[in-house]
Structures are given as C-alpha cells and as structure tokens.
Amino acid sequence: MPPKAAPYLPLFTTHLTSSPTSTSITLTTLSCPPLSATPLPRSRTVEFRGFFPTLNLHPTAIQSLKDQHIGLNPDIYESEMLALTTDKRMEKVKELESSGGVVEAVFWLREVGNMWRVRGKACIIGNPRGDGDEEERVARGFVEKGLRKVREGEGWSWERQVDMYFANHSPGMRGTFKNPPPGTPRNQDPGHPELKLGQKVEDLKDKVARENFRVVVIRPEEVERLDVNDPSNPIRTRWTAVRDGEEWEEVDLWP
C-alpha cells in the first residue's frame, strides 16, 4: 500500500475538476502477437470515471443502490489509479491481455491549458464470478497494491464497488452492455435475442449487461504534465514511480 499520495495528484485533481467539459481520455493500448502479426498501437476516446475507487455518485445512482439493497461502500480508500468502464467484448480488452496491460492515457484539459500523460499498466475487474475467477483475483491483487487506506471502516467489497460504477451510468448507458457485439458487422445476426440497441436497464444485477460490464483500472508508473499557458516558457514535468509507487521522482524537462 503506497504510504502517501503521489506529488502530482493535488494539481492533477485541481486541473480535472476545473475542466468539467473535458474529462475524456485518449487511451492507447498495444495489440501484440498473436492478436496481430506485429505490435500495433490502438487509440480511442474513453470517459474518465475518477481515481479508483472514489466515485462522484449521481443522486439517482445512490437511490438505486439503496432500493436494490446493495448499499454503498465506506469511503476508506484513495489512489492515483485511473478508473474507466468498458465492455469486455471490445478490442481494448483483448489488447490489454496481449500486451501485459501497457497503456498510455492522455488528457488535454483545454480550460487549464495542460496536457497530462499517464503511462502504466491497466487491469480489468468486474467479472460476475468474483474471486472465483483466477484473472479477477490477480486483477484485484494488482489494484490493491495501489490503494491507500485513508480511514477506518467496515464492509468494503469489490463486488459492491463494481455495482457502484455500474449504477453511476444512466439506464440507457447500462443498456449498451446488452448491445449486439461491438465491432461486428451490422448485417451479422447478434446471436442472442437479448442483444439489441436502445435498451434501458434498471436492474443493477442484470445478468446479460453485467456479464459484459467491466471496470478498467490504470496504475500509473510515469506521469508527464505539459503546461502551455505561457508559449514562451512551457512547463514540462515528469514524475516516475520508484519502489512500486512508494515514492515518486520529479524532473523538470525542456519542453
């Protein structure tokens, strides 16, 4: 467990909260053999869902979690790990498996004139079989190494944490996890009558949607900030994790 927050975290958090319109990330993964004949970069836009496991829960999400007797996890952990959500049927999931999880996540926060690049390793949690699944166990162990316990409290669970991420999507967004298989030709039969566009999911434990819903957690190893507010003197700083994130080395770079 890292003893303290990374030194860049307060500034990064301030920049993110000052940029309400730009919380998308350009996420790059690598497709490696045997998934592709040679290593190939793959990038796409994804939505930043906060630093795992801190969640800005929507009031309707809180209500659904209460009504469906799931409840909320106590607020006892913090981290600098990036959270995002995805569908396990998407290519990025296979790419992460093929590459050992290497990623670069890039934020361009226009309102504050700063770009942040986060390099590290990603893993995926949220398999409905829980820790009965070997990959899920390994992924949870990896995330656990990056968690900081900030207060005492009982009853925190991985399952409920994934439920909370799912709950924080609108019923229509939850329904996308029951879309026909992403990236397959539209003229191909989705293979299952339950897989179609435009569904709304109220049940947070919906079997089909939860089979596909996953949370991706990125553990940073190297973080770079480029501040371009003063074009005559851009600020470029790099932080590198040492001893598995116990400490961070900071270097100012020529832009």
d(CA 199, CA 197): 6
Closer to ligand FMN by Cβ: residue 91 or 159: 91
92 counts as binding ligand FMN under rule CB under 6 A: yes
Least Å distance, CB 234 to ligand FMN, is 27
15 counts as binding ligand FMN under rule CB under 6 A: no
C-alpha angle with apex 82: 246 to 236, nearest 5 degrees? 70
183 counts as binding ligand FMN under rule CB under 6 A: yes
Q: Which two tokens stand for residue 175?
A: 């329904």
Residue 123: strand pairing partners: 217
Stretch that binds ligand FMN, among 8-16, 87-95, 194-202, 223-231 (CB under 6 A): 87-95
Closer to ligand FMN by Cβ: residue 87 or 206: 87
Least Å distance, CB 162 to ligand FMN, is 15
Q: How many residues of this chain bind ligand FMN (CB under 6 A)?
A: 15
Stretch that binds ligand FMN, among 42-50, 108-116, 159-167, 227-235 (CB under 6 A): 42-50
Stretch that binds ligand FMN, among 3-11, 30-38, 41-49, 196-204 (CB under 6 A): 41-49
88 counts as binding ligand FMN under rule CB under 6 A: no
86 counts as binding ligand FMN under rule CB under 6 A: yes
d(CA 130, CA 44): 28
Q: Give residue for tokens 């890292």.
A: 2
Q: Which of 19, 24, 179, 240 binds ligand FMN (CB under 6 A)?
A: 24
Q: From residue 135, how far is each of 4, 89, 97 by CA, in Å?
A: 28, 16, 10
In three-state secondary structure terms, 185 is coil
d(CA 181, CA 177): 9
Closer to ligand FMN by Cβ: residue 183 or 198: 183
d(CA 32, CA 98): 5
90 counts as binding ligand FMN under rule CB under 6 A: yes
Q: From residue 203, how far is each of 68, 167, 210 by CA, in Å?
A: 8, 9, 10
Least Å distance, CB 116 to ligand FMN, is 17
134 counts as binding ligand FMN under rule CB under 6 A: no
Residue 222: strand pairing partners: 119, 240
Find all residues with CB under 8 Å of 234, minimum gap 6, and list them.
226, 227, 228, 255
84 counts as binding ligand FMN under rule CB under 6 A: yes
Angle between helices 59-67 and 158-167 (to 10 degrees): 130
Closer to ligand FMN by Cβ: residue 44 or 137: 44
In the complex, the residues that contact ligand FMN under the rule CB under 6 A are 24, 42, 44-47, 84-87, 90-92, 182-183
